[in-house]
Structure 1
Amino acid sequence: MGLLNFLFGNKTKKIQDFKNRDAVILDVRSKAEYDSGAIPGSKHIPLQQVASKVATIKKWNKPVITCCASGVRSGSAAAILKSNGVEAMNGGGWQSLYRKLD
């Protein structure tokens, strides 16, 4: 096990676990960014709206993998969701997440 895996866990394994449990991919980029390319089937809620949409997200009753352009906004979104009782993880940048989902 590499040092980074030891420190941060194996993200690919966690993504697979979430995916196996029918996780929802939540893209938190702006509408313009999302419209220019996104993971097929992902849901879109800009980061600024995530806190106000927690009740809706909870109704999905599924784990959530957040993504954005680089992983910063999705990290914030995952933290907001976790603090509100949603099982969530930061999937990082949407393009690298998309490759990991294959």
Structure 2
Amino acid sequence: MNIENLIKEKACTIVDVRSHEEFMGGHVTDSINIPLGDIQERMEEVESLKQPLILCCASGNRSGQAQHYLAQKGIDCYNGGSWLDVNFYQSQTT
């Protein structure tokens, strides 16, 4: 299943890895904010989330880094790229 369908069907958890300040400036509804720099210390929380995780940030760079790290830890996750793209997909939910 592709990322767009996972988001549209609410079959995932959306994790925004931008800073708290960026997140407060606008984010995907029902997404969780775990800044990239906090992922390692919040692994227990990450592991408890409904998988797969769709990771997003401003451009896809930080979410790509998070995806690489989490995949190495056995987490089912995808780089969703920009939070604006993820937000667009979510706006088309069935």
TM-score under structure 2 length normalisation? 0.86
**Which structure's CA Rg is the greater one?**
1
Runs of 4 or more, structure 1, over 6 Å off, are none
Cα distance in 2 between the residues matched to 1:30 and 1:88: 19
Q: Which amino acid aligns with 2:77?
A: A
**Percent pairwise identity:** 32
Higher relative contact order (CA 8 A, sep 6+): 2
- What runs of 5+ residues in structure 1 fail to find an aligned partner? 1-12
The answer to which of 15-24 and 36-45 deviates more is: 15-24
Query: RMSD of the alignment, in Å?
Result: 1.5
Q: Which amino acid aligns with 1:18?
A: L
Deviation at residue 66 of structure 1 after TM alignment: 0.2
Count of residues paired in the alignment: 90
1:22 to 11, 15, 26: 11
Cα distance in 2 between the residues matched to 1:57 and 1:18: 18
**Partner of 2:39: helix, strand, or coil?**
helix
- What runs of 5+ residues in structure 2 fail to find an aligned partner? none
